[in-house]
């Protein structure tokens, strides 16, 4: 059995202001660095190998958690929001109406103009999943909310036209089993990255 633990990066200033980041390379904020520095990797994940999205917010998170700079994989980069990046959600909702309603109506095929859909993110990460299975190494991948949601949707057959059966928490590892065909299956969700004791 090959396991993949997905961890979302710590907070950035754009996260804190409700700004859509996507592919913009926004670093961790001071609060985000402080937050990540308090996380600890559960004992059962200590032997896993590390990989990260190349975006600095993920790479810095991985660096702080693992104690060294891990290799990166471009397939873990955040979903491309194109012309909506750098804008706030209230601004987009005001201009476009209820963004969440649009998301739910299109589900996996929703995309911003010129951007990427969750289904396209799934197609991008499937070869990554197969590669991890072929290597046979349990892996921690530090990445982004859009990537984690896309893999979660793939694992449970969620079409994203409704709210998720379970809202995944930040500051946690989402652990999936990768089968022989490179498909994910939920292993354990919301494994807390607790603070060190003592």
Model confidence band, residue 121 (pLDDT cutoffs 50, 70, 90)? very high
**Does 198 reside within a domain?**
no
> Residue 181 belongs to what domain range?
2-192
Residue 60 counted as domain residue: yes
When pLDDT is cut at 50, 70 and 90, the band that residue 73 belongs to is very high
Under the banding of pLDDT at 50, 70 and 90, the label for residue 198 is: very low
CATH code assigned at 8: 3.40.50.1240
* Per-residue pLDDT at 56: 98
Q: Read off the pLDDT band of 195 (50, 70, 90).
A: low
Evaluate whether residue 126 is within a structural domain. yes
Domain count, the chain: 1
**pLDDT for 183 beyond 80:** yes
Crossing angle of the two packed helices 30-37 and 56-66, in degrees rounded to 10: 30
Query: Domain for residue 93, yes or no?
Result: yes
Task: Tell me the whole-structure pTM to 2 decimals.
Answer: 0.94
In-domain check, residue 197:
no
Instruction: Answer whether residue 151 is part of any domain.
Output: yes
Q: Which two tokens stand for residue 7?
A: 């961890």
Residue at 15 is within a domain: yes
pLDDT of 197 higher than 50: no
């Amino acid at each position: 059995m090959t396991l993949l633990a997905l961890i979302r990066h710590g907070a950035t200033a754009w996260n804190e202001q409700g700004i859509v980041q996507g592919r913009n390379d926004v670093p961790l904020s001071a609060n985000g660095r402080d937050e990540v520095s308090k996380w600890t990797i559960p004992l059962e994940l200590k032997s896993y190998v590390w990989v990260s999205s190349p975006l600095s917010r993920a790479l810095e998170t991985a660096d702080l958690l693992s104690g060294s700079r891990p290799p990166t994989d471009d397939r873990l980069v955040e979903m491309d929001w194109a012309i909506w990046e750098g804008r706030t959600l209230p601004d987009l909702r005001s201009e476009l109406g209820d963004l969440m309603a649009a998301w739910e109506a299109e589900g996996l095929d929703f995309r911003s103009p010129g951007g990427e859909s969750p289904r396209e993110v799934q197609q991008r990460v499937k070869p990554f999943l197969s590669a991890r299975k072929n290597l046979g190494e349990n892996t921690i991948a530090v990445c982004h909310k859009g990537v984690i949601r896309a893999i979660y949707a793939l694992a449970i057959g969620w079409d994203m036209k409704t709210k998720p059966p379970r809202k995944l928490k930040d500051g946690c590892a989402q652990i999936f089993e990768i089968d022989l065909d490179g498909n994910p299956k939920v292993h354990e969700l919301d494994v807390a990255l607790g603070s060190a004791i003592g």
